Amino acid sequence: MQAPLMLQPELIRSFRQTQMAGVTAADVDVMARTIFGEARGETYYGKIAVAWSIRNRVTLDLWGDNKPDWWGETISGVCLKKWQYTCHSDHNAAKLQKVSLDDDSFKESYLAALCVITGWTPDPVFGATHYQVIGTNAPWSRGKFPVCTIGHHEFFVGIEPGDPKHKRA
């Protein structure tokens, strides 16, 4: 277990009153590790952008039917869903489990997770649920235009989950 991150009391109170019902300490940890794995070379703003793509998936009801969505319903479910966030299935997976708050980039990732979960930071990706590294041209992004570019990532909305090419975030 990691040592607690020292934060302002207002942020801790806000986390306890989060608008995202059912968020656990494990969810925060998984989100922070996902942000670290996907955006550790990005600025803090780039980490916030990736965090919002996660939150947007959690809060979006794909079909408006109040039924579970294929990509998960919780932060942990969304982050750990197979083929969605490659940092959990590639050569970085072991590094994700070992990183601690002694690492400045992980500390930033943890803070980004808390700020996005609590809504302290507005959504800079306009509801995007997907992103890719600039120039990647993932199959799911072909013919789509990013709603914004932050750091080295392009962010997308309206990606159809039924597309057989749809595999990665």
Query: Which of left, alpha, beta for 78 (phi over 0: left; psi -120 to 50: alpha)?
Result: alpha
Longest alpha-carbon distance in the chain: 46
Q: CA 100: distance to chain centroid?
A: 18
* Top-tier CATH class for 24-127: mainly alpha
pLDDT value of residue 22: 83
| Cα(112)–Cα(45) distance, integer angstroms | 8
* CB neighbour class for 92 (10 Å; exposed up to 12, middle 13-18, buried from 19): middle
What is the domain partition of the chain in residue ranges?
A: 24-127
pLDDT value of residue 115: 94
pLDDT value of residue 136: 92
Tens of pLDDT, residue by residue, the chain (169 residues): 343 444 445 554 555 555 577 889 999 999 999 999 999 999 999 999 999 999 999 988 776 677 777 788 899 999 999 888 889 888 888 889 999 999 999 999 999 999 999 989 999 999 999 999 999 989 989 999 999 999 999 999 988 765 444 444 4
Q: CA 94: distance to chain centroid?
A: 19
Q: Where are the alpha helices (DSSP H) in the chain?
A: 9-16, 25-39, 44-59, 75-80, 93-98, 104-118
pTM given for the model? 0.83
pLDDT value of residue 60: 85
| Cα(76)–Cα(62) distance, integer angstroms | 18
Three-class DSSP category at 148: strand
